[in-house]
Amino acid sequence: MKTTSLPTWKELAKAYESFQTKTLKELFLSNPSRSNELTKEAAGIYIDFSRNLWDSSIIEKLIALAKEMKLEEKRDAMFSGEKINKTEDRAVLHVALRNRSNTPIYVDGKDVMPQINEVLDRLFRFTKSIHNGEWKGKTGKKLTTIVNIGIGGSDLGPHMVTYALQEYKQEGMECKFVSNVDPNHITMVLRECDPETTLFLIASKTFTTQETMANAAIAKTWLTAKLGSDAVSSHFVALSSNIEKACTFGITKENIFPFWNWVGGRYSLTSAIGLSILLYIGETNFKELLTGFHEMDQHFKTAPLEENLPVLLGLLGVWYNNFYQATSVAILPYDQHLAYFPAYLQQGDMESNGKSVTQEGEAIDYQTGPIIWGEPGTNGQHAFYQLIHQGTKMIPCDFIAFAKPCVPLEEQHAMLWANFIAQQEALAFGRNASYLQEKGVDPALIPYKTFSGNRPSTAILAKQLTPRSLGSLIALYEHKIFTQGIIWNVCSFDQWGVELGKELASKILPVLSSNVKELNNIEKSSATLINYFLTNQ
Ligand code: F6P
């Protein structure tokens, strides 16, 4: 079923025809209570949607579309453990991982909560033993440096969260991440590690991912060369749903923390994949993170669509993506702690909704997932904001900020906030030529100094960056992605698009590494690159 052939879609297309000429200035002037009407709050997250090119009549139509696409029924199907990931025949239950109310959730007739709680308990016990020094390295020293080896969902989430929550770190703990197959990455990290105090977490759902397996093997060789082969059991643990493969790698069963095939990689940071986070911030803070996720999950599950933050954020994105034809969304956190948040969301969003066939396998002739990108403010202001303010493209922006700073530098935090507010004002209302004329600006420069305004932004706020507010913020985006996937009628939980490159790389690798000059099966264009590589060794 194509979304674009639905009556509610056609209604929206018609509404867009007349709405597209409206400006934010007019929208604010025509409705004095616009700010109030378009700000919503839930689970500690406050969103000001008012500087967006929509109003209650558009929202109503978008909600009608969501209802026609059966968003509520499909959301309920996810929460109740139905196999909504059709192409992989799997349930999608990251919400169960942080189900703090512990209500039963069934997959194939079996409640998954007992196994989740059991693994969580094991993770907590393990963390305690690392922190209190009961679990020691081979030479009897406390393990204080965590090296997470993983990629994609087995890296981006833990990396983003540990960086974001560094003010909450447990004393003495350090956390490092190796993801890239580029040998420089592991080399750079190992250079900074002491084998006697390093714990490696091999994080891979499948335990077959080339990059992770290669880096894990290097780490093992490095460790055993320094401490002997019997050091592996005290310095390596695995986080995986493939116990067999983790055992084959040489990790004993007691050192494997499992999760399940109904946890998608990019939704896995609250599974065993989050062990680096737990070790870094400790049990109490980790539980707070889970609670934040759970609060937003509950809100998404129960709030009416009109008040539902992830639903509204998702529908707003559809409005821009499909009617205004905006091709990207900028994620602009005004908090340096969230430096890795845009990269994390790139996988979350683009791997989920970067699809071009419907759930029924038909080719799609409308736009689906946008390009996600961004950098923390104010850095971005001095780099790419020029294009957002005066370029030819419409780029809806999510501005994220926290009222209270994590560090006691209030004056500088106010500077950050002044910029945060000013940028959204400038984007929305711009600066027109007549103002510049009045100010006596050189007429020749007026075209360059004019700001068209009418450029949309959403302010996403919380009181302070805490484990709990971060959990809610991440879940907000997860469910926004879900909402959009339903509207675009794509399967948001598979990622077949990453497979072809992997397959071809495995065909090319032997030619590069064994110097086999057999290029018959290789694409001509790739042969040029192979030749360049081989002749320049
Ligand atoms: O190649 C894409 C992908 O499958 C992601 O979806 C996943 O997060 C990542 O690779 C890592 O996979 P694994 O955890 O199985 O190593």
One DSSP character per residue, 393-457 reads S---EEEEEEEE-SSS-HHHHHHHHHHHHHHHHHHHH-B-HHHHHHTT--GGGHHHH-B-----E
Contact between 8 and 61 under an 8 Å Cβ cutoff? The reply is yes
Q: Is the CB of 201 under 6 A from ligand 1?
A: no
Q: Is 382 a catalytic residue?
A: yes
Which of 165, 224, 234, 164 is closest to 197 using CA atoms?
A: 234
From 159, 206, 256, 503, mutation site for ligand 1 pocket: most ligand atoms within 8 A of C-beta: 206
Which of 212, 187, 202, 302 is closest to 246 using CA atoms?
A: 202
Residue 233 CA, chain-centre distance (Å), reads 32
Enter the DSSP assignment of 170: P
Contact between 160 and 106 under an 8 Å Cβ cutoff? The reply is no
Low pLDDT (below 70) residues in the chain: 1, 515-519
Provide the pLDDT for residue 3. 84
Q: Is the CB of 152 under 6 A from ligand 1?
A: yes
Provide the pLDDT for residue 514. 75
Terminal Cα-to-Cα distance of the chain (whole angstroms): 53
Q: Is the CB of 153 under 6 A from ligand 1?
A: yes
- Give me the catalytic one of 14, 404, 502, 507: 502
CA of 8 to the centre of ligand 1 (A): 36
From 92, 149, 154, mutation site for ligand 1 pocket: most ligand atoms within 8 A of C-beta: 154
Token pair for 324: 């205004």
Residue 337 CA, chain-centre distance (Å), reads 15
- Strand order of the β-sheet with 174-178 is 174-178, 145-149, 198-203, 236-240, 256-258
Q: Is the CB of 205 under 6 A from ligand 1?
A: yes
Q: Is the CB of 287 under 6 A from ligand 1?
A: no
Provide the pLDDT for residue 516. 63
Provide the pLDDT for residue 515. 59
Contact between 353 and 368 under an 8 Å Cβ cutoff? The reply is yes
Provide the pLDDT for residue 67. 98
Please give the single-letter amino acid code of residue 533.
F
Q: Which atom of ligand 1 is nearest to the CA of 268?
A: 8
Enclosing H/E stretch for 488:
helix 467-488
From 87, 178, 180, 205, mutation site for ligand 1 pocket: most ligand atoms within 8 A of C-beta: 205
Q: Is the CB of 266 under 6 A from ligand 1?
A: yes
Distance from C-alpha of 531 to C-alpha of 512, rounded to nearest angstrom: 9
Name the residue at shortest CA distance from atom 8 of ligand 1. Answer: 153
